[in-house]
Amino acid sequence: MAKSLFDKIWDAHEVAEGLLYVDLHLVHEVTSPQAFESLRLAGRPVRRTDRTLATADHNVPTDGSTRADQIRDQLSRVQVETLERNCQEFGVPLYSLGSARQGIVHVIGPELGVSQPGMTIVCGDSHTSTHGAFGALAFGIGTSEVEHVLATQTLQQRKPRSMRINYEGALGYGVSSKDLILGTIGRIGVAGGVGHVIEYAGPAIESLSMEGRMTVCNMTIEAGGRAGMVAPDETTFEWIEGREAAPDPLPTESWLALRSDDGAAFDTEVTLDASELSPQVTWGTTPGMVTDVTRSVPQPRDEGEERALAYMALRAGTPMAEIELDRVFIGSCTNSRIGDLREAAEIVRGRRVAASVDAMVVPGSQQVKQQAEAEGLDDVFRAAGFDWRSAGCSMCLGMNPDIAAPGERVASTSNRNFEGRQGRGARSHLVSPKMAAAAAIEGHFVDIREWEDSH
């Protein structure tokens, strides 16, 4: 029987009915302390430390601190120190603050080459879907499940339904993977993928870089999807080859065999035209409240949208390109990889951030930071007036000191524009790295396609 990529990975990992084996468990400081504590109380060890990897990312300051004891916020410090102590006690490999490999958990997995095709990958973080870009089944779990995986290396799971989103046509000039996924969420809705594992397919996906595919899979959860995935191909192999944890030689034949068979059945199939997408900007308080940069803030259709517009202090009919910004954040597990920073740097090279805008770049990992500095991108950003920071989740969720003030309007390359997400009362607009960079220069949104031509 023809099987999908998802079916094949599922079948290869089903220990018993409803019990799924986990190949890689990623751990961070926020969702793990209670899990380790419960293990300790029950006298249970971590079953497979060799399939577990931890880092500190959500809480860490991005000011260049290199040790947990330098964290000024006491609660954050305790949380990072607790992770360090737990990993040492239980034997879990950890890249904490000060490690050259520290970074956002969904950036360092692919970067080290531990995220590979055919794997099951979980983490106590909803954006674990990112790793599906490698043809893995990767999804977020809660702390009770973190404890369960630490203790048993398995997860109790009912098989989700499957969905394939087929993109016809190619992305237009200046339209990025971020616009593709924002546009998709705008069409299928923030609950459009609930209960489903989504495979993204079609020429627009195949032509994306690994970083672009990671951006798409990352935001699957914003459509409610359990996991997002892309079939492995040459682009995947090129990324993995030579990375530290990569097998040598790569088992490319067995990885290619993971691809969905012709005629594989999906519970839901959706077809979207990638060529009709424009650069996207969110206007509301869910990632599904999104429109083309060429359009205006829409008329609210229900109470929820009215509430969103009130929170965002926007009036229906205002052109998106006239929305003025206070801050720009380039970073997060969605868009903080070297390719994202290169794209943004090309926009700002030789230009100045608008006087009214406070702009920052937070590389996704220390390795990304180092690479960017080797290429001189830090100088490009600094010369333009951007603040160049150290790696972490930063203003994506503001658990560290990188927080927007009440009422401030932020153009952000992150994944959530929920009320208060980037700071209490802060107003977030999700965009691509290029769009964020150009918005920083102009002080308001611009259509990157015309802007690039005219500059």
Shortest Å distance, C-beta 25 to other proteins: 9
74/66 Cα distance (integer angstroms): 16
Distance of alpha carbon 154 from alpha carbon 420, whole angstroms: 35
User: 399 — phi, psi (to 5°)?
Assistant: -85, -15
Determine if 166 is a binding residue for other proteins (CB under 8 A).
no
Confirm or reject binding of residue 137 to other proteins (CB under 8 A): no
- Phi/psi at 101 (nearest 5 deg)? -110, 5
Quote the CA–CA distance of 218 and 227 in Å, as a whole number: 9
Q: Contact, 1 vs 31, CB < 8 A?
A: no
Q: Please name which of 278, 277, 284 lies closest in space to residue 323, comparing C-alpha atoms.
A: 284
Residue from 224, 364, 392, 433 binding other proteins (CB under 8 A): 224
Token digits of residue 219: 């935001």
**In angstroms, what is the minimal distance from the CB of 82 to other proteins?**
5
Rule CB under 8 A: choose which of 5, 7, 55, 59 binds other proteins. Answer: 59
Least distance between other proteins and beta carbon 382 (Å)? 28
Q: Is 418 in the site for other proteins (CB under 8 A)?
A: yes
Considering only residues 102 through 131, tell me which ones interact with other proteins, judged by CB under 8 A. Answer: 112-114, 116, 118-119, 124-126
Q: Out of 2, 100, 194, 257, which residue is the one contacting other proteins (CB under 8 A)? A: 194
With respect to other proteins, which residue has the nearer C-beta, 360 or 446? 360
What is the closest distance, in whole angstroms, from the C-beta atom of residue 346 to other proteins in the complex? 32
Sort strands 19-21 and 154-156 into parallel, antiparallel or unpaired.
antiparallel
Which residue in 45, 142, 376, 407 binds other proteins (CB under 8 A)? 142
Q: What is the Cα–Cα distance from 431 to 9, expressed in whole angstroms?
A: 32
Residue (86 or 432) nearer to other proteins, CB: 86
Distances (CA, A) of 308 to 55, 302, 412, 416: 35, 10, 17, 14
- Contacting other proteins within 61-90 (CB under 8 A): 73, 75-76, 78-79, 82
Q: Is 169 left (phi over 0), alpha (psi -120 to 50) or beta?
A: left
Give whichever of 44 and 449 is closer to other proteins, judged by the CB atom: 44
- Nearest Cα residue to 200 out of 253, 134, 262, 254: 134
151 belongs to the binding site for other proteins (CB under 8 A): yes
x-or-dash string of contact with other proteins, 29-48, rule CB under 8 A = -xx-xx--x----x-x----
Q: How far apart are CA 190 and CA 201, in angstroms?
A: 20
**Whole-number minimum distance, CB 313 to other proteins, in Å?**
16
Give the binding-site size for other proteins (rule: CB under 8 A). Answer: 80
Answer for which of 290, 328, 345, 399 binds other proteins (CB under 8 A) is: 399
- Rounded to a whole number of angstroms, the minimum distance from the CB of residue 417 to other proteins is 10
Stretch that binds other proteins, among 156-164, 313-321, 383-391, 441-449 (CB under 8 A): 156-164
Tokens 């809480």 sit on residue: 59
User: Rounded to an integer, what distance in angstroms lies between the CA atom of residue 336 and that of residue 415?
Assistant: 12
H/E stretch holding 269 reads: strand 268-273
> What's the closest the beta carbon of residue 21 comes to other proteins, in angstroms?
6
Please name the amino acid found at residue 15. Answer: V
Q: Which two tokens stand for residue 293?
A: 């940069």
Is the Cβ of residue 111 or residue 343 nearer to other proteins in the bound state?
A: 111
* Window 420 to 449, contacts with other proteins (CB under 8 A): 420-421, 424
Q: Which of 170, 245, 265, 405 binds other proteins (CB under 8 A)?
A: 245
DSSP count for the chain of H helices, then E strands: 16, 19
30 and 399 Cβ atoms separated by less than 8 Å: yes
Q: Which of 212, 196, 227, 51 is nearest to 127 (CA)?
A: 227
Contact pick of 4, 96, 102, 154 for other proteins (by CB under 8 A): 154
160 interacts with other proteins by CB under 8 A: yes
Query: Within positions 270 to 329, which residues make up the interface with other proteins, using CB under 8 A?
Result: 286, 303-304, 307
Q: How far is the CB of 355 from other proteins (least distance, A)?
A: 30
Residue 51 contacts other proteins per CB under 8 A: yes
The owner of tokens 């359009």 is 295
